[in-house]
Amino acid sequence: MKPVVLNGSSLTIEQVAAVAREGAEVTLCPEALERVEASWKFLYQVATSGSQKVYGMNTGVGVNKDQEITPEQYREYNRNMLLAHCDGIEPFATEEEVRGVMLVRLNNVLLGRTGMHPKIVTLFQEFLNRRIHPLLPLRGSVGEGDITCMSLIGLAMIGEWEVYYRGKRTAALGALEQEGLVPMELGPKDGLSLVSTNAVGAGLGALLLQDLRELLDTADLAYAMTLEGFQGSVSPLDPAPYDYRPYEGQRKSMEFARKLLEGSYLWNSQEAQALQDPLSIRCSPHIHGALRDSLDYATRLLEIHLNSSDDNPCILFEEGRIVPCGNFEPLNWVLAFEMLGIGLSHLSRTAASRTLRLGSPRFTGLPRFLTPGDGRVHAFGTIQKVFCSLDAENRHLANPVSPDYSSLSEDMEDRGNNTPYIMLKTAKMLDNLYYILGMEMIHAAQAIDLRKPPRLGRGTREALKILREKIPFLDKDRNLSLDVVCARDLLRRGKLVKEVKKIFA
């Protein structure tokens, strides 16, 4: 796999996923390293000359900005800053998540606005490439800089915390020694540079967006299979009306569904179909498409952040200035994720409604609850409670939480966004949706097998084949919990969609 080259200004969501999940190595652009060096030299000159006050360098932080830090105190003060901010609590991030977080912070620093010591910058690179992953707590940040969590990464870099290394949880110092690396000694402002960043929220968010894109393809596949099992109308997949309501997302979902249903019996106009299906089925491309548009919006805003500085103060070494600022405010992209959560709730409710319709003979003409025989086989009656309970959970998780903050540090820090929590709760919605969509596909597959249509679509036929290799036709009642977990695992991270797409390659 090609290394990901970081320059501070061109990092993408896909590259974050490549480093975090596929283990791609990281290289640093020489021009970016020159900026880092110039920024640090300028800051160090100011630090040793005492020519001006610089927040977090020769002053305290938060309400303690009125306290003076002398050059003799720099080393002890910066170590203490890390220790004082190590307040985050479990759960700990996965190794993938840690890699995403560290990559985001590294790229931000390469803009040269932080004043971080160049050796710390290259140590970030070494941690990633040598797969040294600090234990990173995911709770405890109010999302206005993830200081209570990021401090643990800094602590690992000075050899005083724990890391995941070679498949084990071990002392950071031991991992550094085995790799021939020297723990960092912190200098002016290094403590603040390590802790004051939104990298936890942004790193989790980047991986979340990657997962969401795959989830939407999975949702389109579930809808297409439901349409065949339902014997639904394909008129909502006619491209002509989309020309007069040209949202890009809904067109993408419509076109993908048409592709999946290529060759299906549904395109035969002589097959008996309802004039119009229930809204949950008829409007699915539009609902999925709305989420696609929201996803594109969130991606654009987060990628701006991935290639920005969220440091305060901002080091303008070219101008000889250090400017206190609010670049750590993440609300631009946080709002986009709150919107995605609401959109996921709509998708959740729609998928649950489609699945309920599949179990109703009033709509399908098939046996109630898709039973294969008489009333002795209950089939899919009780499982409705499962996906409806998960849908209710998603509805609750969709509630916005970014405005729920307190005024801290004696009212100096009276803003917050709860950014990491927003990413965690939205990721929980995605996981719930993989269960819900898995249950929809189980229903759709049962309906297709009961209906025995003459022809299935190229994509839906392949999906049914793969699903049936794991989950057989329900001919008698069995433990459906096992089927639900199996379906969820098959769908997770787009596994089923990826296999289906291979037939179109």
Closest-CA residue to 497 (of 288, 232, 219, 287): 219
Please say if the pLDDT value at position 271 is more than 70: no
Please say if the pLDDT value at position 82 is more than 70: yes
Question: Reduced to 3 states, what is the DSSP secondary structure of residue 414?
Answer: coil
Please say if the pLDDT value at position 231 is more than 80: yes
Please say if the pLDDT value at position 269 is more than 70: no
Same domain, 186 and 221: no
- The first and second tokens of residue 464, run together, are 């049914």
The lowest-confidence range among 286-295, 311-320, 407-416 is: 407-416
Q: What is the mean pLDDT of residues 243-255?
A: 97
- The answer to whether position 319 is within a domain reads no
Q: What percent of the chain has pLDDT over 90?
A: 87
Same domain, 266 and 414: yes
pLDDT of residue 59: 82
Kindly give the pairing relationship between strand 4-6 and strand 26-28.
parallel
- The answer to whether position 321 is within a domain reads no
Same domain, 187 and 212: no
- The pLDDT tens digits of the residues spanning 147-169 come to 999 999 999 999 999 999 999 99
Kindly give the pairing relationship between strand 168-171 and strand 162-165.
antiparallel
Local confidence band at 368 (pLDDT 50, 70, 90 cut-offs): very high
Strands (E), 21-68: 26-28
Partners of residue 137 on adjacent β-strands: 92
- The answer to whether position 344 is within a domain reads yes
Same domain, 183 and 227: no
Q: What is the mean pLDDT of residues 124-140?
A: 97
Partners of residue 322 on adjacent β-strands: 315
Distance CA 334, CA 289 (A): 21
- The answer to whether position 220 is within a domain reads yes
Same domain, 296 and 374: yes
User: What CATH number did the domain enclosing 33 receive?
Assistant: 1.10.275.10
Domain that holds residue 171: 4-197
Place of tokens 């959970």: 393
- The answer to whether position 180 is within a domain reads yes
Local confidence band at 69 (pLDDT 50, 70, 90 cut-offs): confident
Count of other CB atoms within 10 angstroms of residue 353: 18
Same domain, 215 and 178: no
Same domain, 133 and 249: no
pLDDT of residue 356: 98
Please say if the pLDDT value at position 455 is more than 80: yes
Please say if the pLDDT value at position 233 is more than 90: yes
pLDDT of residue 270: 63
Please say if the pLDDT value at position 397 is more than 70: yes
Please say if the pLDDT value at position 432 is more than 90: yes
DSSP assignment, residue 370? Answer: G
What is each CA distance from 59 to 53, 290, 300, 407, 409, in whole angstroms?
7, 48, 36, 21, 15
Q: What is the mean pLDDT of residues 109-113?
A: 97
Q: How many domains does the chain have?
A: 2
Q: What is the mean pLDDT of residues 83-108?
A: 96
Report the alpha-carbon angle 294-297-299, nearest 5.
110
pTM of the full structure = 0.95
**Of 165, 197, 229, which one is at a domain's C-terminal end?**
197
Local confidence band at 49 (pLDDT 50, 70, 90 cut-offs): confident
Same domain, 339 and 415: yes
Same domain, 260 and 177: no
Closest-CA residue to 78 (of 145, 154, 137, 134): 154
Please say if the pLDDT value at position 185 is more than 70: yes
Highest mean pLDDT among 26-30, 57-61, 414-418: 26-30
- The answer to whether position 203 is within a domain reads no
Q: What is the mean pLDDT of residues 367-372?
A: 94
Instruction: Say if residue 361 is preceded by a cis peptide, omega within 30 of 0.
Output: no
Same domain, 351 and 477: yes
- The pLDDT tens digits of the residues spanning 214-223 come to 999 999 999 9
Distance CA 15, CA 25 (A): 11
- Phi first, then psi, for residue 90 (nearest 5°) are -65, 160
**Of 154, 176, 197, which one is at a domain's C-terminal end?**
197
Q: What is the mean pLDDT of residues 297-311?
A: 97
Report the alpha-carbon angle 266-346-142, nearest 5.
145
Please say if the pLDDT value at position 396 is more than 90: yes
Same domain, 79 and 228: no
- The answer to whether position 318 is within a domain reads no
pLDDT of residue 399: 97
What is each CA distance from 333 to 194, 237, 300, 471, in whole angstroms?
22, 32, 9, 40
Mean pLDDT computed over every residue of the chain = 94
Same domain, 9 and 41: yes
- The answer to whether position 317 is within a domain reads no
**Of 163, 197, 231, which one is at a domain's C-terminal end?**
197
DSSP assignment, residue 243? Answer: G
Q: What is the mean pLDDT of residues 224-244?
A: 96
pLDDT of residue 493: 87
User: What CATH number did the domain enclosing 460 receive?
Assistant: 1.20.200.10
- Tell which wins on pLDDT, 65 or 151: 151
The lowest-confidence range among 73-77, 157-161, 276-280, 351-355 is: 73-77
In contact, 450 and 227? CB cutoff 8 Å: no
